[in-house]
Amino acid sequence: MPLSNAEDLKEFVASVKISYRFMSELHRRTGMHRKQVVKITTLTKKQASKQNLNLQVTSFLEREDNSSILVSKKKSDVVVIENIEHQKRILSDYMNNLHDKFRLENPDIKVSRARFYQSRPKYLLLANFASRRTCLCAQHQNMALKLKAMRSLGLNLPKSPDALIKEHDTNEKLKETLETGLPDMVKYTQRKKVVEGNKSRWKEVDGAVAKTNCIHLMDSQTSEFRKRVKVQYHEMRNLRENLPENEVMLWMDFAENFVCTSVEAFQSSYWNQTMVSLHTMAVCFPKSQGQCLQSFAGVYDVLCHNATVVYIILKKLVPLLQSTYPSIKTIHYLTNSPKSQYRNKTIFKIVAAHNEDFGIAGRWNYLESGHGKGPSDGLGASIKRAADMVIRQGKCLIQKC
């Protein structure tokens, strides 16, 4: 068709569409408007690569070994991104150390330090002094202090304990570095519990050891630290991502007690505030069930956080899980390890008699001190924030019976 005829046909079709309201009818039948179609854009190869990198960095930073979720119920601890609420998380290390760790774990991904910094979401906050004390465990801090002392002596060692484990798969390479670079006496600082009167407090204590003793100490502590850093989180992720059929993982923890308040109260009620306890739980299902995560919360007026309360909650929760997932045969419990709550003889007895009490098998997995932050902590903050909101709106009143 000649160009002039094509242009004439185009003008004719456009006039017909306007005259007979074809565009309005097309919009009514398809549900699509011409303005919406114009806004649809396709990602270029560069944009798609950038988006994929952002997702990988975010997934890396959200891991339990790289950040800890804030358990506060304050509205300021929530960041809204694209109409989705995200609970704030505190990074457990500096961004430059996390960048080195990311490159060690992903050697095929080329990302600069600046690009890595830009990929951090707004709800992942940098560690400061106050938050850092709550995010790191004593073993991590002591290992970091040892590395700091050895770096001051001129040894080529990383600042981060996690990077040390990545760079030294075995202790032989570390021994060679220490034997060639350490002086006869090594001074370092450690955090220890010091007894003062009838109480014990954590304090920084200066120490000095001979070169041979320091090498032997680092050899034994690095082996234990490697299990703590590498094996613990690897096994936890492996269990969660590769749950066998007919098995679930139950991650649970006690949240801080919720203070019952009201919009209108007498002056004397300030001195007679009541509280309720929260026990938050997150259940991970296998791939056959979509590998979904379902949340539960136990609310009760007993303020004790002990094994007896845990058993009462399980007596109510396990039958509920069996009704939701009838073919369940094993529950893998995942908790932190305080002696008064989960790591005691009462819990061991519950596990031993799990088949008799619930009709299914049970296994208990413990996370070390300072490493137990998970979805259950964020769940407690969300529940308390939602409860505060409905109380302020006057929709309900929460009080102990």
Q: Identify the domain containing residue 367 by its residue range.
A: 244-392
Whether 401 maps to a domain, the answer reads no
Q: What pLDDT is recorded for position 330?
A: 93
| DSSP sequence for 95-112 | HHHHHHHHHHH-TT----
Whether 400 maps to a domain, the answer reads no
Q: What is the dihedral of CA 382, 386, 389, 390, to 10 degrees?
A: -170
Q: What pLDDT is recorded for position 31?
A: 65
What are the residues whose beta carbons fall under 8 Å from the beta carbon of 223, sequence distance 6 or more? 171
Domain finish residue from 134, 156, 171: 134
pLDDT along the chain (401 residues), means of 10: 60 63 68 60 75 90 82 70 82 84 89 90 71 55 82 81 77 82 84 79 82 85 76 81 89 85 62 80 86 85 88 93 90 87 91 93 82 69 80 69 62
Domain finish residue from 176, 206, 237: 237
Q: How many C-beta atoms lie closer than 10 Å to residue 71's C-beta?
A: 21
Domain finish residue from 213, 237, 261: 237
Sign of CA dihedral 258, 262, 263, 264: negative
Say whether both 259 and 377 belong to one domain: yes
Whether 206 maps to a domain, the answer reads yes
Q: How far apart are CA 143 and CA 64, in angstroms?
A: 19
